[in-house]
């Protein structure tokens, strides 16, 4: 391979202008607070309708699944900082570890590990848009499946009026704060 006279200069300018992913992570100034939200949902074909607390999520769910019934089984939220792991216990008895790594613009880099006891079942590194959600499919049942909606934001999410009017019962909601 032959370099043209301007190629090396272009390469140096490109590296200086765009940096590397590790360099952009190092630019974060101080700890960033990250708010993490986990909704565990049971979806089935029982024609029982949609839990009113899931109304805002329905356009996304209908685009992914074709079930007739969606019930919010559990809602959990917690606050952590970049570099610090937060753990959630999922209703199936599994443990979900989430560790935000960095905030780069409107993207939150994080590692997610799902454990069954001490055995990791799933590990992934990803970037999630600030106030975005990731839906992870879970165990299948005779008439449906359970899944998790994982959300993260750099600030607390504001509830819509419908969500504010629909209180969760103590058995349905837990907080890790």
pLDDT tens per residue across span 2-35: 434 443 333 333 333 333 344 344 444 556 899 9
The mean pLDDT of 95-124, rounded to a whole number, is 95
pLDDT of 150 > 80? The answer is: yes
* pLDDT per position as a tens digit, 61-105: 999 999 999 999 999 999 999 999 999 999 888 999 999 999 999
pLDDT of 176 > 60? The answer is: no
pLDDT number for residue 156: 79
pLDDT number for residue 141: 82
pTM for this prediction:
0.71
CA distance 149 to 39: 5
141: Cα within 13 Å, side-chain hemisphere: 13
CA distance 109 to 125: 7
CA distance 135 to 88: 16
């Amino acid at each position: 391979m032959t370099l043209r006279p301007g190629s090396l200069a272009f390469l140096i300018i490109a590296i200086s202008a765009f940096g590397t992913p590790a360099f952009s992570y190092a630019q974060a100034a101080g700890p960033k607070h990250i708010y993490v939200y986990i909704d565990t949902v049971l979806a089935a074909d029982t024609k029982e309708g949609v839990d009113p607390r899931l109304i805002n999520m329905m356009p996304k769910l209908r685009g992914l699944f074709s079930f007739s019934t969606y019930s919010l089984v559990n809602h959990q939220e917690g606050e952590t900082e970049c570099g610090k792991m937060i753990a959630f216990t999922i209703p199936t008895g599994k443990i979900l570890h989430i560790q935000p790594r960095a905030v780069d613009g409107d993207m939150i880099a994080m590692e997610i590990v799902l454990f069954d006891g001490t055995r990791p079942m799933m590990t992934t590194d990803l970037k999630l848009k600030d106030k975005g959600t990731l839906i992870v499919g879970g165990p299948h049942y005779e008439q449906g499946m359970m899944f998790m909606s994982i959300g993260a934001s750099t600030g607390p999410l504001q509830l819509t009026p419908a969500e504010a009017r629909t209180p969760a019962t103590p058995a349905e909601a837990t907080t890790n704060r």
